[in-house]
Amino acid sequence: MAKTRLFLDTRKKSKSGLSTLKIAIAHHMKTAYIILDVKLSTNQWDSQNSLVINHPEKNRLNLLIADRKLMVDRTLLILNDHGKIGNMDVNGIKVEIEKNMYPEKAEKFELREKRKRDNNLFANRFLAFAESKKKSTQQIYMHTYKRMVAYMNGTEKLHKLAFEDVTKEWLTKFDVFLEQTSPSKNARNIHLRNIRAVFNEAIDDEITTFYPFRRYRIRPVATRKRNLKIDDLRTLFNYPCEPHAQKYLDIFKLMFMLIGINAIDLCNLKEISDGRIEYYRAKTNRLYSIKVEPEAMEIIERYRGNNYLLDILEHWKNHKSYVSKMNKTLKKIGPVERVGLGGKKVYAPIFPQISTYWARHSWATIAASLDIPRDTIAHALGHGGNTVTDIYIDFDQSKVDDANRKVLDWVLYGKR
């Protein structure tokens, strides 16, 4: 049978510092609350004896509370005697209690609970969570949603899922299903992490206490490092590539010199202020401030734009199409030979897997090889600022500036 207790909820207080008294109902490892029209300060509630104390109306309030508690316990006894309570969830029990307490509002309670159940089903919460994100992140979550629809053989079945239905077994089978079209474990993990994020929010909002990820672990697979060794980087930077490829190579150099700045952020830069570029990274919305070294400035001046710092978006529709072309061109850099009667070009690329991401990874790897502290590298890449300690420490940006200068001196001039 369900159990009840009186509970002064101090988690939320009114402006006057008072907390609401509630009746907690525990059933099948879950808890629901009946709100009483009683607000008290912590020194007015004796939790051990469940009595109001130090209050001018303590006698009246104690009678009111005892009456409400008796009504709740009587409803539970009736449900138990009729053999209903075993098949009910705690929210269903709460509705029955509220209907007995306030019969004139019975229909309202039923409708409220139905709406709550519908809103708190897993798929509905998943879609609401996705809609709260920026557009690019929404697309990632909607891809996960579509894969879940395919796995469940339709939206109707998916939208009947409660959080408690998404068990360790469900997740394991979903991963097996994903493997049919996505052999990469790390790619499949994106979908699983999206599901986990929705669970975390639902727990924070007290929608559910069920959490399958205590038993189901999302285990990443180590990937090949996407970086160039120091000698390879120097080879690339100084390679006599074809004229049409030179700008792409220069922009790759610039990305490296700006501590592996992402292409979208580079394309959207507007100006240099006091010798620095400052921007909010599109991916994380984290503020970056990077000193523009003379070598980087030389490249910027070569490709100055009118409306932007660089002229990329004045020639390309968007950064994605530019990056796609840039990556294809970078992958071809190397010896070129013309063969056949038509003189078709045959490439022998020196780094056939390279992409714009390699600028960021290479900078971090070389910085580490120069014994630059890990926390400095982390702040340079924007990985700091998440801990309580970081909130109280204003990181010295000059450490990042010095680190970048050391990296450039080593790569460009062999100076350590």
Residue 343 dihedral angles phi and psi, to the nearest 5°: 65, 40
CB-count exposure of residue 252 (10 Å: 0-12, 13-18, 19+): buried
Q: Which pLDDT score is estimated for 118? A: 62
In the beta sheet, which residues pair with residue 45? Answer: 52
**To the nearest whole number, what is the mean pLDDT of the chain?**
88
H or E stretch covering 37 = strand 30-40
pLDDT bracket for residue 395 (50, 70, 90): low
Percent share of the chain, pLDDT over 90: 59
Give, for 79, the enclosing helix (H) or strand (E): helix 58-81
275-279, 357-361, 387-391, range with the lowest pLDDT: 387-391
- At 387 the pLDDT is 45
pLDDT at 390 over 50: no
Q: What is the pLDDT of residue 162?
A: 87
Whole-number pLDDT of residue 106: 61
* Mean pLDDT of the 377-403 span: 69
- Whether the Cβ atoms of residue 54 and residue 43 lie closer than 8 Å to each other: yes
Q: Please say if the pLDDT value at position 336 is more than 90.
A: no
Q: What is the pLDDT of residues 134-173, one digit of tens each?
A: 887 888 899 999 999 999 999 999 988 888 889 999 999 9
pLDDT value, residue 105: 66
Rg of the chain over all Cα atoms, to the nearest angstrom: 31
Over residues 363-385, mean pLDDT? 88
Give the model confidence (pLDDT) of 8-32 as tens digits: 999 888 888 999 999 999 988 888 8
Task: For 272, list phi and psi in degrees, rounded to 5.
Answer: -110, 125
Residue 335 has pLDDT above 80, yes or no: yes
Average confidence (pLDDT) over 115-141: 82
Least confident of 118-127, 289-298, 384-393: 384-393
Least confident stretch, 43-47, 129-133, 281-285, 324-328: 281-285
Is residue 115 within 8 Å of residue 121, measured between CB atoms?
Answer: no
H helices of 258-386, where?
263-267, 294-302, 319-332, 357-369, 374-381
Sheet holding 19-27, edge to edge: 3-13, 19-27, 30-40
CB proximity list for 328: less than 8 A, separation 6 or greater: none
- Beta-carbon contacts of residue 400 (< 8 Å; ≥ 6 apart): 259, 290, 376, 379, 380
Please, which residues bridge with residue 347 across strands? 336
Give the model's pLDDT for residue 115: 60
H/E element holding 8? strand 3-13
Beta-carbon contacts of 181 under 8 Å, excluding residues fewer than 6 positions away, are: none
For residue 162, which phi and psi values (nearest 5 degrees)? -90, 165
Task: Please tell me the predicted confidence (pLDDT) of residue 133.
Answer: 87
Q: Which residue has the higher pLDDT, 101 or 178?
A: 178
Q: What's the pLDDT band for 113 if we cut at 50, 70, 90?
A: low
pTM over 0.75: no
Name which CATH class applies to 230-413: mainly alpha
